[in-house]
Amino acid sequence: MRFPQALTSSLFALSLACSPAAFAATEGATVSIVHAQGTTAVPKNPQRVVVLSPAALDITDALGVKVIGVPKTSAHYPAHLAKYNGQDYFDAGTLFEPNFEALSNAKPDLIIAGARARDAYGKLSEIAPTISPDLDPHKFLASMTERTEQLGEIFGKQEKAKEVLAAFNAQIADVRKESANAGSAMMLMVNGGKLSAYSPGSRFGFIYDVLGFKPATTFKETGNHGNSVSPEFVMEANPDWLFVLDRDSAIGRKEGSSAQQVLDNPLVRKTNAWKKQQVVYLDSGSLYIAGGLQSYSLLMTQVKQVLDKSKTQP
């Protein structure tokens, strides 16, 4: 059967549009991503993705992104990310030292690194396009939003990104309704029996900066390790709320005293927080190891519960 010339031309054009070459052109599209280490042209909808940053993994997991490899040898994933300890994901090294041989053999088309692997960025970029979508504690909410939207754009998950961010912001609004009148707060980390306190604008300043708790005290330094304080300092600051992160528990260290044991002393017992039973032990693994969208959502759920409970106390 002979087709009319116009129809033959149309069929030929259609066959070209459906050819592997045409698909390759579509799949070859890239998006320019500005991140902590610079600007990188990233392939859209990459299929072989390695995530070295637990915070980024927290976000990609929330978006429903499939990955092939993650750090395992030094990562203690919190419960909501525990599946990544399984055999479905190859071991990409540690949080600080990627396994370059394993990464090269895996042939990823995108590596999502982070602050802990900062020194390895150059070598990682030689294997595949690499980005470091770190969160900025000085503008936490803006950077969380930006990173989630960027990852949504890379993976074609823009609508999902809008959905999870809307839910996240709704949680913030709910907590802020109560936090403004809840009294003062102090964010503490217990590490090896020692105490560190965090200010607004610091690594764990979320309690103040986003959730709206009034800080019981402030510090000039806002570094990752906080400010060393004593039980006497905590007593004198006299917060109404103590939010506590147990670093030893977060990294799986079993020796030494727990955060509960360290804080159970005569000086801390004099604080309003202790007297009102408003010492809140946070999910340390989620916050310290991961610290992404889902981690902070879980934190807000916990904070909302204790705020609601405090309203029923005499």
- Taking a C-beta distance cutoff of 8 angstroms, is the pair 198, 204 a contact? yes
Q: What integer pLDDT is reported at residue 274 of this predicted model?
A: 97
Mean pLDDT of 75-79: 84
User: Encoding tokens for residue 43?
Assistant: 């392939």
**Residue 48's pLDDT band (boundaries 50, 70, 90)?**
very high
3-class secondary structure per residue, 197-261: EECCCCCCCHHHHCCCCEECCCCCCCCCCCEEECHHHHHHHCCCEEEEEEHHHHCCCCCCCCHHH
Question: In sequence order, which residues have a C-beta less than 8 Å from that of residue 290 and are 6 or more positions away?
Answer: 54, 55, 57, 58, 77, 78, 80, 81
Q: What integer pLDDT is reported at residue 73 of this predicted model?
A: 73
Q: For residues 285 and 10, which has the higher predicted lDDT (pLDDT)?
A: 285
Q: What integer pLDDT is reported at residue 154 of this predicted model?
A: 97
Question: In sequence order, which residues have a C-beta less than 8 Å from that of residue 66 and are 6 or more positions away?
Answer: 49
Burial class of 201 by CB neighbour count within 10 A (0 to 12, 13 to 18, 19+): middle
The one-letter amino acid code at 219 reads F
On the question of pLDDT at 104 being above 50, the answer is yes
**Number of neighbours of residue 300 by Cβ within 10 angstroms:** 19
Q: List the beta strands (DSSP E) in the chain.
A: 30-35, 38-43, 49-51, 69-70, 90-91, 110-112, 130-131, 184-191, 194-198, 214-215, 227-229, 241-246, 279-281
Where is average pLDDT lowest: 1-15, 201-215, 260-274? 1-15
CA dist 257 and 248 (Å) reads: 9
On the question of pLDDT at 94 being above 70, the answer is yes
- Taking a C-beta distance cutoff of 8 angstroms, is the pair 310, 276 a contact? yes
Q: What integer pLDDT is reported at residue 18 of this predicted model?
A: 39
- Taking a C-beta distance cutoff of 8 angstroms, is the pair 109, 42 a contact? no
- Taking a C-beta distance cutoff of 8 angstroms, is the pair 240, 278 a contact? yes
**Residue 268's pLDDT band (boundaries 50, 70, 90)?**
very high
Name the 3-class secondary structure at 9: helix
Cα separations (Å) of 91 from 64, 106, 115, 158, 167?
20, 10, 19, 29, 32
Q: What integer pLDDT is reported at residue 9 of this predicted model?
A: 39
Partnered with residue 188 across adjacent β-strands are: 197, 244
Question: Above pLDDT 90, what percent of the chain?
Answer: 75
pTM of the model as a whole = 0.86
CA dist 19 and 196 (Å) reads: 61
Q: What is the mean pLDDT of the chain?
A: 89
On the question of pLDDT at 194 being above 90, the answer is yes
* Helices and strands in the chain: count of H runs, count of E runs: 14, 13
**Residue 257's pLDDT band (boundaries 50, 70, 90)?**
confident
Mean pLDDT of 7-28: 37
3-class SS shares of the chain: helix, strand, coil, % to 5: 50, 15, 35
**Among 62, 59, 55, which residue's Cα sits nearest to residue 71?**
55
On the question of pLDDT at 38 being above 70, the answer is yes
On the question of pLDDT at 2 being above 80, the answer is no
Write the pLDDT tens digit of every residue in 135-157: 998 899 999 999 999 999 999 99
